[in-house]
Structure formats: C-alpha cells, structure tokens
Amino acid sequence: MLEMGRRLWTILLLVQTLCLTSVDAYPDGKVTESCGSMMPIHGHAPNTSHSPYTLAVNVTKFSSGDYIQVTLSGTTYFEGFLLEARNASNPDSDAVGSFILTNPKTTQLLKCGHTAGSAVSHTSDARQTKIVVIWNAPQNSPDAVEFLVTVVAHFKTFWVKIPGPVVSQSGVTPIPPKPTTPSTTIMTSTPSVLPKPFSSVGCGQQKSCLLDPVGCDPEKDPSCFFLSFAPKGQTVVFELSGPSDGYIAFALSHDTWMGDDDMYLCVRDDGLVDVSAAYVEGRSYPKEASENVLTDVAWRLADGVIQCRFRRQVLVPQDPTRFSLDAPYYLFMAYGEAEYGEVHRHVRQPLISSQQSVINGPAEILNGSRSPLLMKFHSILMLIAWMLAGSTGTFLASYFKPDWPERTLFGQRIWFQVHRGLMILTVLLTCVAFTLPFIYRGGWSKRAGAHPYLGCTVLTLALLQPIMATLRPPPDSSRRWVFNWLHWGVGTVAEIMAVAAMFLGTGQQSVLLPHSWRLGVLAGFLAWVVLLRVLLGLHKKGYIKTRFCDFVSKASDTDDQQRILADDSEVSTWDAWFKIVALLAFVIGNSGFLISFIYTISGL
C-alpha cells in the first residue's frame, strides 16, 4: 500500500511537471514554436470577442519587390504579438515575404518556415500601443496576401490570427473584401515608412548634399547629420537625417541668423515621426503651416536616428510664408531632445550653415556653399606655409649644411640665411592664416573636429622655434646639443601636425574639396617628400656615393689611368650636382602640388 502511494505521488508530480513545462511564456518574443498555428503556448484559450487591435496597410495593390507599411495599433496596450503575411487563398499556409524593422528596440524578426524575417514579434513584455514595420513582397508572391496577427494583451488575454487587410498584385482581380471590423483597416493617405536609411551615394550627381561631419554617410554612420535635395520638375525632394531623441529640422534663411525663416521639422511622436512645415517669425517659436504643402512624406525611426523625406513645390502661392526654391538661401540644420509639443522651446543653434540655391543643380552644392573668401585665403596661406616654405626650409637644414662653405649671404652661410628666411615666412603666413577663421566665424568653431586643435598646436610650435633660436647657446657650448635636438624635434612635430591638419582642413565644410581628389593629391605630396628625403638621407650616409664609386671603378679596371675619374674631387662634384638636382626637384614638385590645390580652392 505504501509503495502504491509513492507511485501515485510520483505520477502526480510528473503530470504536474509536464503541465508546467508546456505552459511557456515568451517575454523575449522568441516564439518560433508558434509560427504555424500562431497560438501562444500559455495554457489558456484565446479570446473570441472583438479585438481592440487594428492592422492597417498603406496600399491595396503591390508588385513583386514592393515595400508595404504595416501598422498594428490598439485602443489599449499589448505586451506581445506575432505578425505574419500569408496567402489570402490559403491562410493556413506558410508565411510569405519578409519584414523590415523600423524600431529594433521593440520589435524583432523571426524565421517562420524557410524564409528569414518572415515574421515579426516583440522583444520584451513592455507595454505598447502601436508598432510599424515594412513588408517586402517576394518575387514569387501569391496573387493576394493577407496579414494576420496574434496579440497578447496579458498572459491570459490574447487574440489569435486576427485577420488583417488583403492586398492584391497589380493586374489581379482582388479577393472580395471581408467585412470591415475594428481589426482590419486600409489606409492610403498616411505617410509611409522608409524601408532603409538614406545614403550619400549620388551626392553631387543626382542630389545636392550637406553632411556633418564632412564626408559621413547616413547609411553607415548613425551620428551623421544629413540634408539632401533634388529638383524633380516643378518640385524638390528633401531628405533629412540625424541622431536625436526629439526632433531634427532645417530652415531656409535670408541671413546667417535664425529668424524669419522657412522651416521644416521631423518630430518624434511615440514611435512615429511627424513631418511638417513651419515658419519662424522674428525670434519667436516656429509656427506650423496652416496648409499641408508637403507630399510623398515618408519617415524612418531606428537606432536613435530620425529620418524623413518629403516633396515640396518650388512655388507655393497659397502660402506666402513658404520661400520660393529658385533663389539662394542660407541652410540651417538643428536638432533637439524635446518631446512633441515642446520642440518649439528647444531650437538650438544650427549645426550647419551655408548659402545655396536649392534648384540650381547638384554641382553647386557638392562642396557645401561657395566657400567664403576668408576661408579660401586661410587654406591657401596655410598650404603655402607648410607645403612649400616650411618643407623647403627644413629640407635645406637637413641636407645642405656642409654645402657652399666659402660662400656667405649677408654675413652668414647661404643655407642658414635661406633656411631662416623661409621659416620666418612660414611663421608669418601661419599667424595670418590662423586669425582668418576666427574673423569669419566670430569665435571658436565647435564642429570642425580635430582640425582647429591641430592648427593651434602647429602655431604654438611654429612660434616656439624662433624663440628657441634666439636663446640658443654658442656653437662651441657644451649645451648646444640640447638646443639642436629640441630645435629638430619641435620642427619635425610641427611639420607632421601641419600635414595632418592639411588632410583634415581640406575636408572642412567651408572649403570642402572632392574627397578622393584631395586624398590623392595629399598622399602624392607626402610620398614625394618622403621619397626625396630618403634619397638624400641615403646619399648623406654615403650609400649612393659608394655605389657610384664602385660603378666607376669597375668600368675602368682595364685602364689605371681612367681611375682618376673616381677621385675625391670628381665624386664631390657629382655629389654637389646630385643634391642641387634633388633640391630643384623638391621645390618644383611641391610647387606643382601647391598650385593644383590653389587652383581648385579658387574655383570653389
């Protein structure tokens, strides 16, 4: 009897354990076990009353490869869901097509059947009232597709296979629509969701672009602020993107100050993005336009980045606050962390400011605005200082000290006077060029990256050199070696940082040179300088001279009288000419690179 009782308890415990393990909740949304039936494994029966949740799509017709926006919303919150698209003629078949997420923080893709991303579910049991995803129609799509969703309001309260809208392929007779219920809605006039991020591909060819940081790509860099516009007949298509928790915006302005501007805002609103036009009168907060002047509105919200696209007529006569797009304006980009309704109180200083004509074509906008004259002079003076004057001065000091020992210029050795003159010119040009950006911007540039910091360092080191030279000890002093090493070290670091500043400076928005071109020219300049320095360095160590002497000696082995060609005087003459040719090549080559930069900058 006791043994039978033990067996009975064992059976009861086993049954209880099996029951407990078969009732699984998936707060993380990994519900692939329910792909076929779409039934939650909660151990409770589904609700059969009318669902408070609605499925909506933005089109009724589609073709293979199209993107369709699907929205799940409700009058009350839900904690979980499973969304699929199926053959409308056979709702029990496998899921078809694939989805694209607009908010990976709250939604995730599942593989139901043989297709990755063919279903969407929640990522946690956090309460939601709306989710938006994009469905991509496959190449072998059935004639009609129906969207089905299972929604879990709470563990015991859920609805299974809520029927959604049916969309049909273009040219196919649609399936007779089901009676409209609170769970099925077709919406065709609302903004669509962008299937993927914007890209900087085509900037300067198909569209005009402003980028911050310079050269960034919004498709790859979530920290990239991006504005593009492309004329399309009598309309202009705008694309705006940037990282923000609240809003991003841009404005057209007649001057460099925000106020009395034509503004366009993309505002985050509870998982959606509200796109609108506004006007800033004086220094007041923006006022939204009374009429909707934007068409083909689309948006995307992912990874903390807000993106929106819209189309606007070049001329909007019914709204005098909308600027004509066939005139030049200053462009401002701004962002803020405000919630919708508070955005007007949080407009910040613009991230980018440049003057453009919106419909004049992409070639005008590729390099930002027409570069300000002060910034052109800044760039040209710095390039003259460090590509030609400074580099030639240090080149002379490194390899020409022993030359022309009997000749002087104003009482000093020739190499020294030329070196000193070139370096003084370098310091003067650097000082003048350094002040120009401060005059142009009225202060420190906060969004120029490392370039201004490198510039300050270069100026400091350049000013330190003549101070050290003035205080240097006599040539026969025991401390002279300290000065020699410091003078060489400071000069070398200054020259290296100047080259780095050139790489960054030629990519600044105010003087934005074509990316691949400027990198190629600067890389060529750097390789040319290194090549000549290596050649003269080898010559200074005697390697090139030794090879020359060996060659002459071997060529005259049969005639001892001809060995005189390899004596010290002949070799010294050859050495002198070799160094002079190298110096001329250095100056001419550097001048060529410099002229190419000056010519290109003058045309910006």
The CATH number of 32-169 is which of 1.10.150.530, 1.10.490.10, 2.60.40.4060, 2.40.128.630?
2.60.40.4060
pLDDT of residue 478: 86
Whether residue 541 has pLDDT greater than 50 = yes
> Between residues 520 and 17, which one has the greater pLDDT?
520
Q: Which of 365, 369, 368 is nearest to 204 (CA)?
A: 365
pLDDT of residue 337: 67
Return the SS3 of 368.
Answer: coil
Whether 147 contacts 83, CB under 8 Å: yes
Task: Copy the structure tokens of residue 148.
Answer: 């089905």
User: What is the arithmetic mean of pLDDT over 221-228?
Assistant: 90
Whether 340 contacts 266, CB under 8 Å: no
| Long-range Cβ pairs for the range 107-113 (8 Å, 24+) | 107/131, 107/133, 108/29, 110/29, 110/30, 110/31, 110/32, 110/35, 110/82, 111/32, 112/32, 112/35, 112/36, 112/84, 113/35
Whether 229 contacts 208, CB under 8 Å: yes
pLDDT in tens, 48-57: 778 889 899 9
CATH code for the domain defined by 192-369: 2.60.40
Whether 458 contacts 494, CB under 8 Å: yes
Q: Measure the CA–CA gap between 325 and 331, rounded to whole angstroms.
A: 12
Taking all residues of the chain, what is their mean pLDDT, rounded to a whole number?
Answer: 79
The amino acid occupying position 535 is L
486 Cα distance to chain centroid: 40
The amino acid occupying position 591 is S
pLDDT of residue 175: 61
Segments of the chain assigned to CATH 2.60.40.4060: 32-169
Give the predicted TM-score (pTM) of the model.
0.46
pLDDT of residue 333: 84
Whether residue 95 has pLDDT greater than 60 = yes
Q: Measure the CA–CA gap between 529 and 543, rounded to whole angstroms.
A: 19
User: What is the arithmetic mean of pLDDT over 228-242?
Assistant: 90
pLDDT of residue 209: 86
pLDDT in tens, 329-352: 888 888 876 543 333 323 333 333
> Between residues 465 and 552, which one has the greater pLDDT?
465
Burial class (CB in 10 A: 0-12, 13-18, 19+), 539: middle
**What burial letters (b/e) apply to 466-478, b meaning 16+ CB within 10 Å?**
eeeeeebeeeeee
Write the DSSP symbol of residue 95: B
CA angle, 130 then 134 then 135, to 5°? 125
Whether 307 contacts 298, CB under 8 Å: no
What are the two backbone dihedrals, phi and then psi, of residue 552, each rounded to the nearest 5 degrees? -65, -40
Whether residue 297 has pLDDT greater than 90 = no
One-character DSSP codes across 30-68: --GGGTTT----SSSPPP-SPPSEEEEES-SEE-TT-EE
One-character DSSP codes across 169-227: ETTSPPPPPPPP-TTEEE--SSPEE-SS----TTBTTTBEEEEESTT--TTT-TT-EEE
Whether residue 126 has pLDDT greater than 90 = no
pLDDT of residue 550: 52
Q: What is the CA radius of gyration of the chain?
A: 36
pLDDT of residue 157: 84
Q: Measure the CA–CA gap between 395 and 491, rounded to whole angstroms.
A: 11
Segments of 388-490 assigned E as strands: 408-409, 412-413
